[in-house]
Amino acid sequence: MKFVKSKGLRGEITVPGDKSISHRSVMFGSIAKGTTRIRRYLQGADCLSTISCFRKMGVEIENTGDTVLVHGRGMRGLTCPETPLDCGNSGTTMRLMSGILAAQDFSATLTGDESIRKRPMNRIIEPLTRMGGRITGNGGSGCAPLSIAGGPLSGIDYISPVASAQVKSAILLAGLYADGQTRVTEPYLSRNHTEIMLTHFGARVQTQGTTAVVTPAPELHAQQIDVPGDISSAAYFICAGLMVPNSEIFIRHVGINPTRAGILDVCRAMGGRVSVLNKTSASGEPAADLLVSSSSLHGTVIEGALIPTLIDELPMIAAMACFADGTTVIRDAAELKVKESNRIRVMVQNLAAMGADVQETDDGMIIQGGRPLHGASIDSCLDHRIAMTFAVTGLCCDGETSILGADCVRISYPEFYGDLEKLTV
Ligand code: S3P
């Protein structure tokens, strides 16, 4: 896949449904009573992995492309899978499902692709073990494949060392089955889709600051879920609209949950022209249309509580910072090292190959903006967010940018390149 300098991006776009919300809707629908109807379910490979895992546990799921129907089997209705559950590339599938499996009356094995088998699973093994779960990583490595022998669980009060919605959600889901309340406190608040959606399904989940408390639920009730557009996918068009001269992009119906929408604050702090229009809400999640246009950008500092609200957008933001005047500092973002790739290293190497002045730090990057970048051969390391980031960056570079492993966008946004092309002037 090759990209050259763009003369501008103009038009309207609807990005696919939110990945985090899509995963949760099938998982919660599977253990609820009744049929959950999901509109705009993301048809990316990660969310299809979740569907396939729950089908293997006896859940009937109809996927028509636009609507997904999940015929829930109730809290105790999952059945023992005959083969290992393949999570593909999806951390959300593996970690959240572990919370549910820890409480079942059968054993299961969770596996996935080469990338996920290197990602840290001790962060869920440790708290779920404290609850009474029996989970082992591959040869005690703390990595997948994970063997989970389900059984009775006890509620815990857990102080998480990381602000991670996957960790928080795994514990809260196990907590639905525990013998008392379960509390999870994070250093900063991570995305709260689990808390919002579980409440819709009839569970009792309370939030105080960065603590979420779940009460065991005898039953969940099927829901209609309207999935808003994924702000993590919209991020590529938000930044493209700001970075590429002569651009104006209208992005329809994007989720703007404050625990996810940090990118909007950062764009504004950098001088970006971003308007939030026509606010609505869908299934308890706020959404809006976004209008972005080419802007003269300047550097900023991104740190602390803001980081979990834009963790998946940081690669794109780092690339945008190369086109902003002055210095941008990203810190407190060590979590980037344990995503689908080491996103600090991979971003620094690829941006440097384009001629950027960017320095890797222990927990982020320091970017000196304002230098013109040139096209380069980019290794996506099969990380979808890296591939999409450099497709957009290539539109602002002199010369040609080619992306190795470009097809990995199928993980979260199969139509990405076509959608980007449609906006080309
Ligand atoms: C997700 C949470 C984030 C994010 C991932 C999706 C979720 O991971 O990076 O893409 O759906 O809960 P962490 O919670 O591990 O930071």
In this model, does residue 282 exceed pLDDT 90? Answer: no
* Confidence class for position 33, pLDDT limits 50, 70, 90: very high
DSSP 3-state helix, strand, coil percentages of the chain (rounded to 5)? Answer: 35, 30, 40
> How far is it, in rounded angstroms, from Cα 278 to Cα 272?
19
Amino acid 140: pLDDT: 85
Amino acid 176: pLDDT: 98
Is the distance from the beta carbon of residue 335 to the nearest atom of ligand 1 less than 6 Å? yes
Nearest alpha carbon, ligand 1 atom 5? 92
Ligand 1, residues 19, 20, 306, 343: which to mutate, most atoms within 8 A of Cβ? 20
Is the distance from the beta carbon of residue 232 to the nearest atom of ligand 1 less than 6 Å? no
Q: Which two tokens stand for residue 325?
A: 């005047």
Q: Which two tokens stand for residue 209?
A: 């600051």
> How far is it, in rounded angstroms, from Cα 167 to Cα 186?
10
In this model, does residue 3 exceed pLDDT 90? Answer: yes
The rounded Å distance from CA 92 to ligand 1 centre is: 6
Nearest alpha carbon, ligand 1 atom 9? 312
Is the distance from the beta carbon of residue 49 to the nearest atom of ligand 1 less than 6 Å? no
- In our burial notation (b when 16+ CB lie closer than 10 A, e otherwise), range 313-339 reads bbbbbbbbbbbbeebbbbbbbebbebb
Amino acid 7: pLDDT: 98
| Averaged pLDDT for residues 115-121 | 98
The rounded Å distance from CA 400 to ligand 1 centre is: 32
In this model, does residue 425 exceed pLDDT 90? Answer: no
In this model, does residue 106 exceed pLDDT 90? Answer: yes
Catalytic residues: 312
How many CA atoms lie less than 13 Å away from 342 in the CB half-sphere? 12
| Averaged pLDDT for residues 5-9 | 98
Is the distance from the beta carbon of residue 192 to the nearest atom of ligand 1 less than 6 Å? no
DSSP assignment letter at 328: E
Amino acid 319: pLDDT: 99
Cα dihedral 355, 358, 360, 361 in deg (nearest 10): 170
The rounded percent of the chain whose pLDDT value lies above 90 is 98
> How far is it, in rounded angstroms, from Cα 57 to Cα 278?
40
Ligand 1, residues 191, 285, 338: which to mutate, most atoms within 8 A of Cβ? 191
| Averaged pLDDT for residues 169-179 | 98
Is the distance from the beta carbon of residue 383 to the nearest atom of ligand 1 less than 6 Å? no
The rounded Å distance from CA 75 to ligand 1 centre is: 24
Ligand 1, residues 162, 311, 413: which to mutate, most atoms within 8 A of Cβ? 311
Amino acid 413: pLDDT: 98
pLDDT digits (tens, 9 = 90+) for 344-392: 999 999 999 999 999 999 999 999 999 999 999 999 999 999 999 999 9
Ligand 1 atom, smallest distance to 20 CA: 11
Q: 64-68, 192-196, 351-355, 386-390: lowest mean pLDDT where?
A: 64-68
pLDDT digits (tens, 9 = 90+) for 397-415: 999 999 999 999 999 999 9
Amino acid 172: pLDDT: 99
Amino acid 195: pLDDT: 98
Nearest alpha carbon, ligand 1 atom 10? 312
| Averaged pLDDT for residues 317-331 | 98
> How far is it, in rounded angstroms, from Cα 408 to Cα 386?
9
* Confidence class for position 158, pLDDT limits 50, 70, 90: very high
The rounded Å distance from CA 68 to ligand 1 centre is: 22
| Averaged pLDDT for residues 145-166 | 98
Is the distance from the beta carbon of residue 113 to the nearest atom of ligand 1 less than 6 Å? no
Is the distance from the beta carbon of residue 356 to the nearest atom of ligand 1 less than 6 Å? no
In contact, 412 and 23? CB cutoff 8 Å: no
pLDDT digits (tens, 9 = 90+) for 295-315: 999 999 999 999 999 999 999
In this model, does residue 66 exceed pLDDT 90? Answer: no
